[in-house]
Amino acid sequence: MKRAITWILVAVVLLVVVFYVGGGMYFASRINSGALAVQQPLDKAVEVVGVAAREITLRERADDIPALELDARYGLAWDSGHGEIYGPPSDVSGTERTQVTRSFRVTGGTAPSDGGTVRVDRDVYPEGDPAEALDTGVREVEYSSPAGTFGAWYVPGRGSTWVIFTHGAQGSDRYEALRAMQTTTDLRLPSLAIEYRNDEDVPQDPSGRYQYGGTEWRDLEGAVRYALAHGAAKVVLVGYSMGGAITASFLQHSSLASKVTKVVLDSPMLDLSRTIDYGAEQLELPVMGSPPTSLVWVAKQIAAARYDVDWEAVDYLEDPSWLTVPALVFQGEDDLRVPAETADQLRAAKPDLVTLVAVEDAGHIEAWNKDPQAYDRKLTAFLAQQ
């Protein structure tokens, strides 16, 4: 009897070990592919069911694209033109593949054809000449950092305070900044939207992975140094998602941090570990549902060893002393990438400095899409403050 019990206990222990080691290895790989591995801009293609004078009916192909069903503004792009969908959907149907009818306008080229495909774009404005989106002259300039030479879009303006935009990771690029750059160029503020390491066709980080500010802050420092060398006396930093982490890391480490007068953060990813936890909470696995927190913890330890991740170093909320200037923070309440509590924590830690704009029904970096006019008013008022 004792031998049977012993063997049962051994079997249970082995099962637990296999569960945590095997499961931990699997989820560590998921952490790498979902957060650390470099990805280029994603192509969210949907099928055109039909086009009317001011409406378009779209149907998902393979991937779920929640933007189709939201009362928000998104761009569409196709081979012969580009356009926008906006307002609430007038009709939603389908089970496995959602079909939706949205208000629609062509903003360039010719209308898409029935049965063709279009790409849904959160950044709204089509790839190509950024001057078309901003309706003003844009110069392609270059700046350097220890990693190499990078491009930036520069829009001249008045005064000696420049605004520098740092986009997010995992498929984002400089086009992400064009929505808010409309505001800064209208205010005649010199504006710079930068590339940085691991973007497409530029120098890569030696690790081959995103570092969430750990190394990228030096690229932002190079951009600030460029601005200071070309007429800037002070700068305002705007960071999206991982760009928020890069901004925080710059303020934490750079000798040029004193040149920053204000910060704007949009869906900032200020605690990568908590972001990983948040992603795990949304997983639905057979039988168990979301993976247990203990398994996620093991996976993060394995990821730390395998991919050289220092979780404490990319937690900018534990010690937010880096923030010493006024900050405007936009956060979508339906963000499925970064937990909304991130922005809440920053505000709680720095209540005298942080103005939080929580946007209902907005996803990741989609506060502008939900209400462009409201976003512009908040940003304009913040930048105009003395």
- Regarding whether 247 and 368 lie in a shared domain, the answer is yes
How many structural domains are present in the chain? 3
- Regarding whether 330 and 228 lie in a shared domain, the answer is yes
Query: Average model confidence (pLDDT) for the chain?
Result: 91
- Regarding whether 174 and 55 lie in a shared domain, the answer is no
Element (H, E) at 133: helix 130-134
Q: 77 φ, ψ to 5°?
A: -135, 145
Instruction: Give the count of beta carbons closer than 10 Å to the beta carbon of residue 59.
Output: 16
Element (H, E) at 22: helix 2-31
Domain boundary among 297, 313, 329: 313
- The answer to whether 307 and 264 have CB atoms below 8 angstroms apart is no
pLDDT digits (tens, 9 = 90+) for 184-233: 999 999 999 999 999 999 999 999 999 999 999 999 999 999 999 999 99
Supply 79's token pair. Answer: 């081979």
pLDDT for the residue 185: 96
Domain boundary among 257, 285, 313: 313
Helix, strand or coil, per DSSP, at residue 104? strand
- From residue 128, give the alpha-carbon distance in Å to each of 98, 120, 185, 186: 30, 16, 18, 21
- Regarding whether 282 and 245 lie in a shared domain, the answer is no
Instruction: Give the count of beta carbons closer than 10 Å to the beta carbon of residue 380.
Output: 13
Cβ neighbors of 3 (< 8 A, separation 6 or more) are none
- Regarding whether 198 and 69 lie in a shared domain, the answer is no
Element (H, E) at 279: helix 272-281
- Regarding whether 218 and 71 lie in a shared domain, the answer is no
- Regarding whether 326 and 303 lie in a shared domain, the answer is no
pLDDT digits (tens, 9 = 90+) for 251-293: 999 999 999 999 999 999 999 999 999 999 988 766 566 788 8
- Regarding whether 318 and 259 lie in a shared domain, the answer is yes
163, β-bridge pairs: 191, 236
Q: What burial class does residue 45 get, using C-beta atoms within 10 Å of its C-beta: 0-12 exposed, 13-18 middle, 19+ buried?
A: middle
- The answer to whether 264 and 328 have CB atoms below 8 angstroms apart is yes
Domain ranges, residue 1: 1-36+272-313
- Regarding whether 66 and 199 lie in a shared domain, the answer is no
The fraction of the chain above a pLDDT of 90, given in percent, is 73
Residue 116 reports pLDDT greater than 80: yes
Domain boundary among 61, 86, 121: 121
CA quadruple 376, 380, 382, 383: dihedral sign: positive
- From residue 127, give the alpha-carbon distance in Å to each of 88, 117, 250, 386: 25, 17, 28, 35
Supply 96's token pair. Answer: 């496995």
pLDDT for the residue 289: 66
Supply 287's token pair. Answer: 């039988």
- The CA-to-CA distance between both ends of the chain, in Å, stands at 80
The DSSP bridge pattern shows strands 139-145 and 148-155 to be antiparallel
Higher pLDDT, 40 or 350: 350
- Regarding whether 243 and 169 lie in a shared domain, the answer is yes
Q: What is the CATH number of the domain that holds 226?
A: 3.40.50.1820
pLDDT digits (tens, 9 = 90+) for 310-341: 999 999 999 999 999 999 999 999 999 999 99
pLDDT for the residue 13: 52
- Regarding whether 331 and 249 lie in a shared domain, the answer is yes
pLDDT for the residue 138: 96
- The answer to whether 45 and 116 have CB atoms below 8 angstroms apart is no
- Regarding whether 172 and 66 lie in a shared domain, the answer is no
